[in-house]
A and B are shown apart, each in its own frame.
Chain A
Amino acid sequence: QSALTQPPSASGSPGQSVTISCTGTSSDVGVYNYVSWYQQHPGKGPKLIIYDVSKRPSGVPDRFSGSKSGNTASLTVSGLQAEDEADYYCSSYAGGNSYVFGTGTKVTVL
């Protein structure tokens, strides 16, 4: 059960969009539509921003969107704002009542 692969970093200017990939396998991301995304600011606990690949919890801006194709899920942050600067982690159900997280991506707002 290996960690899902994310790029270490991504960046964009305010108002631009940034997309983060999350690559797994046919045993996790590729077979289950249970991919979730979490935002983590320094020194804080993670916050759920996307679940079931593309659903947003109440209160999460629609600037955050998710999708999936094959073994790769993606998170897009549109209209980047300063407060979006954080670490982002994907997670997927991996079968057998277990879960796996991604390696994490640090998003910088230039």
Chain B
Amino acid sequence: QVQLQESGPGLVKPSGTLSLTCAVSGGSISSTNWWSWVRQPPGKGLEWIGEIYHSGSTNYNPSLKSRVTISLDESKNQFFLKLSSVTAADTAVYYCASGAWYKWDYWGQGTLVTVSS
């Protein structure tokens, strides 16, 4: 059973860069799954941010593409999210998730990131 755990700073300053790590256990990041980031602003719905395959291939939400970078480290079984030029609108619970064939089977518990000075 794959388990995912997000980590990173809970507070980021406006115009700064949000950086998060997702640690994968119970499975290999080199498997056939895609590794994704999804966010949820307080009291609001889910938004897909993007995904990465172990080959390094990435896909991003067109609305965030200019600010997002997703990468991975196979040796550490981790993948990462960087979101630049953040504003208060980027305040959200950020989830890492994984799955194959157009669905997400595994989800982390989420981590709240607040953008504030």
Contact = CB atoms under 8 A, between A and B. Distances in A.
Interface of A: 1, 3, 32, 34, 36, 38, 44-48, 51-52, 57, 89, 91, 93, 96-104
Interface in B94-117: 95, 97, 99, 101-105, 107-110
Given A45-B95, A45-B110, A104-B45, A1 B104 contact: no
Interface string B21-52: 00000000000000000100000111110000
A104 B61 CA distance: 19
A89 B47 CA distance: 11
Interface residues of B, number: 23
B102 A98 contact: no
Contacts of A96: 62
A104 B104 contact: no
A3 B44 CA distance: 12
A96 B61 CA distance: 10
Given A98-B61, A102-B45, A103-B45, A34 B102 contact: yes
A109 to B, nearest CB: 21
B102 A52 contact: yes
B53 to A, nearest CB: 11
Given A38-B104, A48-B105, A98-B48, 9 more contacts: A1-B63, A32-B102, A34-B102, A45-B97, A46-B38, A47-B107, A52-B103, A91-B46, A101-B47
Contact of A98 (B45, B46, B62): B62
Interface centre among A38, A47, A57, A98 (most CB of B within 10 A): A98
Contacts of A38: 46, 104
Contacts of B104: 36, 38, 46, 48
B59 interface: yes
A36 B59 CA distance: 19
A103 B43 CA distance: 11
A100 B48 contact: yes
Nearest to B104: A48
